[in-house]
Amino acid sequence: MRPPVTPRERSTPEPTPARDGANTSGSGPETASQSSSPSSSESSSPAHEPVTDLSDLPPVWSGRGVPAWPGVPLVVALALWAYAMRHTDVARLDDYGLVSALHPAFWAGLAVLTTGFWFTVRDARRPAAWSAAYVLGLLVVERATQAVLYPTPLYAWGWKHEAVIDHLLTAGGLQTADQVGDMAVYDQWPGFFAAQAALQRLLGVDSVAMYMAWWPLVSSLMLLLPLLLIYRTFTEDRRLIWTAVWLFYVANWVGQDYFSPQSVAYALHVGVLAVVLRRFGRSAVRRGRPRQAVWTVVLTVLIVTIVISHQLTPGMLVVCLLALCLSRRYRDWVPVATTVVIFLAWCLTAALPFLSAAMPDMIRSIGDLGANVETGYGATPTGTGAIATSWAARLLSGSVLLLAAVGVLRQRVLRHRAWPLLLVAAAPLPMFAASSYGSEMIFRVLLFMLPGAAFFAAAALLPKVRTLAADAAAQQADNRQAGNRQSGGSSRARRWGIGTWVPLAALLGGSLAFVPAYSGKDRINYFPPQEVALVRQLFDQAPDGSLVVAANRNYPDAYASYWSVDHYWFLDDARSHVDRIVESPAATLARDMAGVKRPGRAYFLLTQGQLANSEMNGQLDKAQLDRIRKSVAASPRFRLVAENSAGWLYVLKQSGGAER
């Protein structure tokens, strides 16, 4: 039996690979000995004593075998993923989206990847590079699967953004302020689109559609560095850092990583938080006041980019920075003042036309919590698959938030040490009552809470962090116990006990649940090449001043030529008018489409994506949509222009003159 370890001995532990991911530069405000001691009074409190890392967590393997064993599960997992990609057919997706289409090898590979990560990250002697390799493997499996499987980019909104960039390149600018309408949020927040137009020209590609399928992987990689910087601000233990990163990516199912302004603005938002947390704490300011001007310039550039690119993210950033000011460690008002000034300057100048028109509705929505959970026509998951994937997403987010609450309660030392990160995690909650944001605010709140929530959720899966004095006292108490003579059996039990398998089960459950939460609605989001070809045929022949009528906007290139072609999506209309269309489809649609002046034409488009969106979101069912199409097909007032396996295109015959 070895002698008890004294606090003095434990205060100078031997270097271990667990420090490989540590912040040893001393440049951040929250290093191991400084993170919780902005004043002498704080540093004397037990909660701010130097702490152990998590080295009391025993490794599963002795490390005497093949040094590269962590690479074996990683290679096996990626091989299974590659095999699954070659044997998965997405030609016919059902209401479970990609979940039911994936080859079983995909699920086996994801399970192997998660298991290998856990047994690698929990071993203090493994270099942090192995954990990084597993996280990169996770990103490939999570975010590259759709790009590999689908021959066309996903998401109607991504295609919409492609149309905005096309207009910017074609016309040399976006619409002016006097054209406030459906596209005003793009006209008056053009930062993302201007950058993508420049990138398209730099790459020499015909369209951003050539690379936007890979954007989820790119935007997720953009988050990796700021996440690591944030987590290393509050802990030196690489196991906690990388487990938090893993949970962040697993729980980030909301889908805002697609080709969108939000994806870049969110990465910049996390980057601003990383700079503020590391460079604007009291200890950092005291150590390097002359350098604060440099970091203020960096923050200003990041904030300006956010403000000119997205509407919601600057507001979220303001509330997060204000929350940090509640901590004594971050009383520097420069970041929040800079954000507010730039945000207001943009809102009162370039964005004023849109805000003037939208402000009454925005004011009325304040405090309307029900709008964030509203169900009903067009907002209710319909069908077994849609309901199952919706619940998978809810359970995944709920589980991570519950784990975060457990981590806050059981990790007393981390609760004090990472108090600013806890504030940042809670700060977005008031936004839930500020606006419905098109019934999507609840998802955005979850997204902006996630960096902090993932950190404390990871802390819940790992052993308690203790101060050095408490750790030594506990060790002395253990050594006095008679049962300590059988330490070999105790060590094995601890090594293979609840601390190993329960966290592994949680990680496995989260990793597997990510797939239905993220890809369960791919029947809505995927547009096969035939659908893309049909829509492009429409816009290739539609003269300026034409009108396109469709059930909803869920089809590729729905906004192509939006500056010269009008659109009418009848399922967005009042339910009473939708009922009239269902009752007498051809006659009602013909009246709606009348009045288009030559040379414009009126087209009726019905595609696979529209059918899927209508059915799975509780608008019209398949029988009702078939009734509408058959009525139009049988009407002498419409002529079939084109059809294929993905849809139909009709044109309203014009009275007088030759019919083209």
In a domain, 329, yes or no: yes
Q: How far is CA 644 from CA 106, 229, 531, 623, 648, in A?
A: 32, 51, 8, 19, 7
pLDDT of amino acid 466: 59
3 state SS of 194: helix
Full-model pTM? 0.83
Higher per-residue pLDDT: 410 or 106: 106
In a domain, 489, yes or no: no
In a domain, 95, yes or no: yes
Residue 456: pLDDT band with limits 50, 70, 90: very high
Q: Is the pLDDT of residue 344 over 70?
A: yes
- Contacts of residue 591, defined as CB under 8 A and 6 or more positions apart, other chains included, come to none
Same domain, 302 and 210: yes
Percent of the chain, pLDDT > 90?
48
Give the model confidence (pLDDT) of 590-641 as tens digits. Answer: 998 988 888 889 999 999 999 999 999 888 989 999 999 999 999 999 999 9
Domain that holds residue 314: 70-362+380-461
Q: Residue 601 maps to which CATH number?
A: 3.40.50
Place of tokens 């912040």: 23
Same domain, 443 and 555: no
Which of 428, 461, 494 terminates a domain? The answer is 461
Same domain, 544 and 400: no
Which region among 139-143, 168-172, 543-547 has the lowest average model confidence (pLDDT)?
168-172
- The pLDDT mean for the chain works out to 80
Give the model confidence (pLDDT) of 205-237 as tens digits. Answer: 888 988 999 999 999 999 999 999 999 998 888
Same domain, 231 and 91: yes
Same domain, 112 and 251: yes
pLDDT of amino acid 8: 33
Place of tokens 């690489």: 238
pLDDT of amino acid 87: 94
Same domain, 275 and 175: yes
Place of tokens 């290093």: 31
Q: Are strands 602-607 and 638-644 parallel, antiparallel or unpaired?
A: unpaired
In a domain, 532, yes or no: yes
Which of 433, 461, 489 terminates a domain? The answer is 461
Contact 420, 231 (CB under 8 A): no
Q: Is the pLDDT of residue 585 over 70?
A: yes
Look at the alpha carbons of 343, 221, 505, 513 in this order and tell me if their dihedral is positive or negative. positive
Same domain, 451 and 567: no
Integer Cα distance of 218 and 261 in angstroms: 13
Same domain, 432 and 289: yes
Same domain, 551 and 448: no
Q: Is the pLDDT of residue 461 over 60?
A: yes
Residue 48: pLDDT band with limits 50, 70, 90: very low
Give the model confidence (pLDDT) of 349-381 as tens digits. Answer: 888 877 777 666 666 656 555 555 555 455 577
Same domain, 323 and 433: yes
In a domain, 32, yes or no: no
Same domain, 323 and 423: yes
In a domain, 474, yes or no: no
- Secondary-structure breakdown of the chain: helix, strand, coil percentages, each rounded to the nearest 5: 60, 5, 35
| Mean local confidence (pLDDT), 8-26 | 33
In a domain, 311, yes or no: yes
In a domain, 353, yes or no: yes
Same domain, 136 and 213: yes
Report phi then psi at 493, rounded to 5. -65, -40
The total number of structural domains in the chain stands at 2
Which of 446, 461, 476 terminates a domain? The answer is 461
